[in-house]
């Protein structure tokens, strides 16, 4: 009997690509059949929402796991497999394989909120005061230069292609620039640049954990990605407030300083409240994990969901709140090896399946067909953004005294975009009319490109530097 089991396992291992591909194809077929069944039942007046909420996440989890294994077999990051399979079966994928509708994508949005919270807690727990002090100079240089240079470069590109006769006609018209808008083109370009400069701590932390990486490159990239998101949120809020003020009554208001102070104060207050609440949660977690670990995984999931649910009412940022919680838990006060192991084990228990569902859901949201309409603009933004990220990251790492491998490869870790960028795009799309929807469409198309390229580039850089132990 034991011999037959070994033979079966050996056969499955030998045909691993075929086996994984068969599971993926069968699951896609199952999703298509389930969608047809649920749609038909809804047309007949039956409420199938509860069944959808039970069946859909389970099938997407199976699909994501085996798609990730297929990606790993061809030496790609598992995250890439998760995202690609989400694009394939999502509402924007091929009609024959589309197993998830638009309303079903919204139904599993809670998974995204949960994943962002868990990844933030995990990232905070990975940060150590010792390496923060060591890399603070480099992270400050990188974050400061990118938050300043990338928006200015994008602003310059938008202004040149709309105002200078020589450059007009080289690119299609920017879809968010309406003829009757009282806001100048350069300011709209600055707003666009303030959004696209953002990177994704979520993707960075996930790739680092997936490749089991550690070292100077991983630490620098993680610190820069988190710090840059702080700057992006403040800059975006101020610019959006100024543009909203200029649009009132169709006239430009010159009282910009009061708008800047009001928006900046509100945003900083929200960030400080998030960090303060996170510090309290982190201290409570430290006390609890030092004494016991009963139901710790459930407590962590409940915390992430509660912070996400309260974020709108309390005006807190879940990413920074739980990032602070993880940091305080692991760095403030005496910390035993047992307590640290308990938190790490509890996070590992819950993050695996949530990560898979999160990145599959990210693929579901990516509208790749819109690239066919805005691809020239996306290409220009892609090279402008990443070219400036390369220059500023290399220079910032050098000014901060980082190792040669950090100077050479750190920029690849700042390519990915996801959570914060998509959230800002949603803010613009939902409350700012046609120009907001047009700019959001362009940003989502750019995110789609970065989501597919970013994890591959970061994984390659970690392997090149010898930090990946996977």
CB count in 10 Å sphere of residue 431: 10
Q: How far is CA 367 from the centre of its chain?
A: 16
Counting Cβ atoms within 10 Å, is residue 7 exposed (0-12), middle (13-18) or buried (19+)? exposed
pLDDT of residue 179: 54
pLDDT of residue 391: 92
Dihedral sign, Cα of residue 406, residue 397, residue 149, residue 258: positive
Please tell me the pTM assigned to this model.
0.76
Give the whole-angstrom CA distance, residue 81 versus residue 94.
Answer: 17
Give the whole-angstrom CA distance, residue 21 versus residue 40.
Answer: 29
Could you state, in chain order, the average pLDDT of each consecutive group of 10 residues for the chain (470 residues)? 53 63 78 73 67 74 84 79 82 66 68 76 77 82 89 88 76 72 77 85 81 84 83 79 64 54 68 85 87 84 82 76 84 79 82 80 74 81 91 90 86 82 74 75 82 86 81
Region at 212 (left for phi over 0; alpha for psi -120 to 50; beta for the rest): left
Domain boundaries along the sequence of the chain: 2-106, 114-464
Give the whole-angstrom CA distance, residue 392 versus residue 396.
Answer: 6
User: Which helix (H) or strand (E) covers residue 321, if one does?
Assistant: helix 318-331
CATH code for residues 114-464: 1.20.1530.20
């Amino acid at each position: 009997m034991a011999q037959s089991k070994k033979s079966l396992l050996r056969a499955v291992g030998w045909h691993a690509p075929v086996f994984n591909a068969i599971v993926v194809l069968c699951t896609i077929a199952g999703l298509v059949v389930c969608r047809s069944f649920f749609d038909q039942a809804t047309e007949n007046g039956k409420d199938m929402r509860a069944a959808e909420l039970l069946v859909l996440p389970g099938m997407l989890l199976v699909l994501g796991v085996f798609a990730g294994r297929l990606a790993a077999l061809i030496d790609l990051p598992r995250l890439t497999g998760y995202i690609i399979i989400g694009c394939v079966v999502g509402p924007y994928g091929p009609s024959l394989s589309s197993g998830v509708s638009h309303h079903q994508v919204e139904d599993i949005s809670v998974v995204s909120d949960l994943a962002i919270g868990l990844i933030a807690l995990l990232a905070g727990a990975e940060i150590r005061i010792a390496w923060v002090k060591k890399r603070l100079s480099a992270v400050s240089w990188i974050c400061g230069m990118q938050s300043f240079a990338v928006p200015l470069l994008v602003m310059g590109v938008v202004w040149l292609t709309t105002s200078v006769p020589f450059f007009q006609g080289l690119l299609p018209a920017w879809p968010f620039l309406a003829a009757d808008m009282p806001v100048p083109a350069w300011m709209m370009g600055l707003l666009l640049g303030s959004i696209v400069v953002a990177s994704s701590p979520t993707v960075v932390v996930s790739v680092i954990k997936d490749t089991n990486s550690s070292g100077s490159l991983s630490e620098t990239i993680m610190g820069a990605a988190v710090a840059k998101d702080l700057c992006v949120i403040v800059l975006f809020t101020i610019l959006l407030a100024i543009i909203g003020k200029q649009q009132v009554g169709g006239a430009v208001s010159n009282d910009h300083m009061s708008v800047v102070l009001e928006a900046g104060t509100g945003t900083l207050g929200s960030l400080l409240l998030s960090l303060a609440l996170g510090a309290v949660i982190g201290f409570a977690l430290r006390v609890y994990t030092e004494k016991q670990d009963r139901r710790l995984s459930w407590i962590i999931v409940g915390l992430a969901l509660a912070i996400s649910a309260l974020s709108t009412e309390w005006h807190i940022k879940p990413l920074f709140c739980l990032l602070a919680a993880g940091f305080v838990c692991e760095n403030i006060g005496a910390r035993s090896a047992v307590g640290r192991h308990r938190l790490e084990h509890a996070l590992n228990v819950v993050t695996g399946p949530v990560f898979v569902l999160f990145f599959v859901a990210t693929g579901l949201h990516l509208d790749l067909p819109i690239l066919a309409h805005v691809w020239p603009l996306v290409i220009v933004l892609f090279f402008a953004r990443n070219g400036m990220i390369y220059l500023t990251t290399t220079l910032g790492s050098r000014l901060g005294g980082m190792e040669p491998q950090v100077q050479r490869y750190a920029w690849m870790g700042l390519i990915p975009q996801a959570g914060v960028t998509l959230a800002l795009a949603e803010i613009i799309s939902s409350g700012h009319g046609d120009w907001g929807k047009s700019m959001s469409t362009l940003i989502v198309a750019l995110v789609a490109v970065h989501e597919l390229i970013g994890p591959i580039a970061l994984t390659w850089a970690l392997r090149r530097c010898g930090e990946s132990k996977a």
